[in-house]
Chains A and B, each alone.
Chain A
């Protein structure tokens, strides 16, 4: 429904400015509140392991997506800008994989040469 409204807003939007119904912003605001509350509850109930991680990451990505798409109007920008801004940070994931692998190796050498610690 919000999508349909957004579509309608897009057609009336001026070339250079972003005009969308206030209702849409209020909806996103509410969703961000609810998602943050869920994130907090994950910690409050002390969920652990893969369940904790998947929930935290899902709520994080949903929140980030809502902020970028609606509050920062990325959903209504032309693809030339969207891709220029969103693709480079995605490539940081390669860096993350590299550093995770590196950290595991450092941990391994520390345990092998300096003992297991406390």
Chain B
């Protein structure tokens, strides 16, 4: 799993596991994330920063909601739909959740196929993931138009606390933007996989370096993160 440590005298020591390993990895005079490529480590650090951004949005929403004296609109009813004459509370959000989870499933399988160098399957699974993502964004566009038609604005709404609109547009808007960029990212990488860039070691357009199938996993990290954020938005915005 992990590369041994090379001492200055060029002896090799086995890398300890567990907490002792954690201490030695962070304390050593060498690279901390030894078995992780730079690309993957940087994607993780980007995602950590993004966690803070979404964390601050959800915190601001929590503070607004807890400190307002006006009743908060009931999300269960706000996001209800009439389907075939039956009133379904929160159904739209539930469907969006299932769509996004499915996209995470296909993405995980794409990563697997990528490492087995199955060009065709990887590209197809990534395209399916992108399609699920686009479906999600489409449903969000529908949700936004419906609420705007019903009179929800960032400064007010027909049902209660004025901050509902600003929190809603801010949080779901930022998440939707992430999904949209994710879809574009997926399409770009899927095209490279399909064309066989990582088999022929074709140089990248910007970097003129050879890409590796690992980019599929890095794209996957971003995509799963978008799904992860939705788990928290679903719990705190729609179920609270």
A89 and B101 contact, CB distance less than 8 A: no
Let me know if B174 is at the binding interface, CB within 8 A.
Answer: no
Given contacts A60-B235, A79-B25, whether A33 and B55 have CB atoms under 8 Å apart is no
Q: Would you give the shortest CB distance from A67 to chain B, in whole angstroms?
A: 5
Number of interface residues of A (CB under 8 A): 62
Contact partner, B231, options A19, A40, A60, A106, Cβ 8 Å: A60
A79 and B19 contact, CB distance less than 8 A: yes
Contact partner, A60, options B18, B112, B214, B232, Cβ 8 Å: B232
Let me know if B156 is at the binding interface, CB within 8 A.
Answer: no
B235 and A78 contact, CB distance less than 8 A: no
Q: How large is the interface on B (under 10, 10 to 19, 20 to 34, 35 or more residues)?
A: 35 or more
Contact partner, A40, options B19, B35, B71, B90, Cβ 8 Å: B90
The interface residues of chain A lying within 8 Å CB-to-CB of B45 are 85
Let me know if A44 is at the binding interface, CB within 8 A.
Answer: yes
CA A114 to CA B67, docked complex, whole Å: 13
CA A102 to CA B21, docked complex, whole Å: 40
A17 and B115 contact, CB distance less than 8 A: yes
The interface of chain B, by Cβ under 8 A from chain A, is 1-3, 18-19, 21-22, 25-26, 32-37, 41, 44-45, 47-48, 51-52, 55, 59, 62-63, 66-71, 76, 89-90, 94, 97-98, 101-102, 104-105, 107-109, 111-112, 115-116, 213-214, 217, 220-221, 224-225, 227-228, 231-232, 234-235, 238-240
The interface of chain A, by Cβ under 8 A from chain B, is 10, 13, 15-20, 22, 25-26, 28-29, 32-33, 36, 39-40, 42-44, 46, 52, 56-57, 59-60, 63-64, 67-68, 70-73, 76-81, 83-85, 88-89, 92, 95-96, 99-100, 102-104, 106-107, 110-111, 114, 116-118
